[in-house]
């Protein structure tokens, strides 16, 4: 049984038991490939479900803990979460506080030189008295943003001539706008089946792989980047067909996939001429074919973004790109902080 206000002696016993059983919960979550940053909350819920039989709030009667949706906002759960969180911090150290990157990696050319573009996936602003925060997932670049500032370790823009500076700012804005649209739209697509979900899941990762490869000076990077871009286009077109008809042609030919769609993707068919023939890109996977032309490959990257964006634009989806959400800090964090401060 757990008291709503856990007594000191009982809390030590609970903490000891939590530390005894958490290795098993953690191993279970690890084998489910749950990210480390998410495990403490899930492990705390699992502990309650497995070990907490009854709860007494103050002088009230004993009762079952109930569903997780009911108990996660209680003080007694926050106390348990505090001990679970402490165990994870002791076990994993700094790795526990590492959060997934909240940006998309793209590529931008500045004075004919490639640089990584780290596009933020969310925007935040303070809410009510530091207790809440507003979060939005934009589907494009907003008027008050300057994507050129998202270039990772970029050059001194003041040292560029006006032509190079204007071109770089325009490309950074266009690339960031498309990457945000692709990511947010894929989240909003009306899912129909596992095949559609699988196809969509490979699009953004292929684009990020291509961008990372094109930041390398290796000749082989060009070959592999072309294959990643081919697959990004192929997955986007096949996802569109899967949503439209429930099936798609088993082919790598982008022209055939384009023609099969009704309505067609929102880009000119002639743009596909800028992509290498699929047989050529297939050979490149094995180190066969053109290894030169980094600059041309970077131009193909920009065309790839246009192709993928055009395919996704005609898919059925919910409009969440302009939505904002006010989020309150989870109560189990607030109370856990109080418990932590009291124990110092």
- Taking only the tens place, the pLDDT of each residue in 248-268 is 999 999 999 999 999 999 999
Phi and psi angles of residue 151, each rounded to the nearest 5 degrees, phi first = -70, 130
Q: Which of 5-14, 67-76, 175-184 has the highest mean pLDDT?
A: 175-184
What tokens appear for 188 in the block? 């909003």
Of 17-21, 105-109, 121-125, 137-141, give the lowest mean pLDDT range.
121-125
Q: What is the pLDDT of residue 124?
A: 79
Q: What is the pLDDT of residue 220?
A: 82
Per domain, the residue ranges of the chain are 2-99, 103-313
The answer on pLDDT for 6 being more than 50 is no
* pTM for the predicted model, two decimal places: 0.72
Mean pLDDT across the stretch 25-45? 88
Which is higher by pLDDT, 333 or 39?
Answer: 39
Q: What is the pLDDT of residue 312?
A: 96
Instruction: Give CA 165 to chain center in angstroms.
Output: 30
Q: What is the pLDDT of residue 82?
A: 87
Average pLDDT over the chain, rounded to an integer? 85
The answer on pLDDT for 22 being more than 60 is yes
Tell me the β-bridge partners of 105.
Answer: 118
- Taking only the tens place, the pLDDT of each residue in 301-310 is 999 999 999 9
- Taking only the tens place, the pLDDT of each residue in 51-108 is 888 887 666 677 888 887 778 778 788 888 889 999 999 999 988 877 666 899 999 9
Q: What is the pLDDT of residue 130?
A: 63
The answer on pLDDT for 343 being more than 70 is no
Which residue do the tokens 């001990």 mark? 83
Of 64-78, 111-125, 329-343, give the lowest mean pLDDT range.
329-343
Q: What is the pLDDT of residue 278?
A: 82
Phi and psi angles of residue 338, each rounded to the nearest 5 degrees, phi first = -65, -45
CA–CA dist 153, 238 (Å, integer)? 36
> By percentage, how much of the chain surpasses pLDDT 70?
83
pLDDT band for 328, please (50, 70, 90 cuts): low
- Taking only the tens place, the pLDDT of each residue in 192-248 is 688 998 899 899 999 999 999 999 888 788 888 999 999 999 999 999 999 999 999
């Amino acid at each position: 049984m757990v008291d709503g206000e856990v007594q000191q002696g009982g809390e030590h016993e609970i903490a000891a038991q939590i530390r005894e059983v958490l290795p098993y919960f953690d191993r279970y979550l690890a084998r489910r490939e749950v990210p480390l940053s998410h495990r403490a909350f899930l492990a705390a819920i699992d502990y309650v479900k497995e070990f907490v039989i009854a709860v007494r709030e103050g002088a009230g009667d004993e009762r079952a803990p109930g569903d997780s949706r009911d108990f996660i906002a209680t003080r007694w759960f926050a106390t348990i979460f505090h001990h679970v969180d402490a165990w994870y911090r002791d076990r994993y150290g700094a790795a526990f506080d590492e959060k997934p990157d909240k940006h998309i990696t793209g590529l931008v050319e500045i004075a004919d030189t490639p640089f990584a573009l780290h596009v933020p996936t969310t925007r935040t602003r303070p809410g009510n008295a530091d207790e809440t925060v507003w979060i939005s997932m934009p589907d494009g670049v907003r008027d008050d943003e300057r994507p050129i500032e998202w270039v990772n370790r970029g050059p001194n823009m003041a040292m560029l001539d006006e032509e190079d500076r204007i071109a770089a700012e325009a490309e950074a804005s266009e690339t960031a706008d498309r990457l945000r649209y692709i990511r947010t739209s894929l989240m909003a697509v009306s899912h129909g089946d596992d095949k559609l979900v699988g196809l969509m899941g490979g699009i953004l990762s292929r684009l990020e792989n291509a961008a990372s490869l094109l930041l390398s000076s290796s000749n082989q990077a060009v070959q592999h980047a072309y294959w990643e871009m081919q697959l990004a286009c192929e997955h986007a077109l096949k996802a569109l067909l899967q949503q439209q008809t429930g099936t798609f042609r088993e082919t790598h030919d982008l022209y055939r996939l384009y023609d099969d769609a009704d309505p067609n993707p929102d880009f000119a068919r002639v743009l596909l001429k800028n992509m290498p023939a699929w047989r050529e890109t297939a050979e490149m996977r094995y180190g066969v074919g053109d290894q030169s032309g980094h600059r041309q490959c970077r131009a193909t990257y920009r065309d790839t973004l246009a192709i993928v964006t055009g395919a996704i634009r005609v898919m059925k989806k919910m409009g969440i790109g302009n939505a904002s959400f006010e989020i309150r800090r989870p109560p189990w964090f607030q109370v856990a902080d109080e418990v932590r401060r009291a124990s110092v």
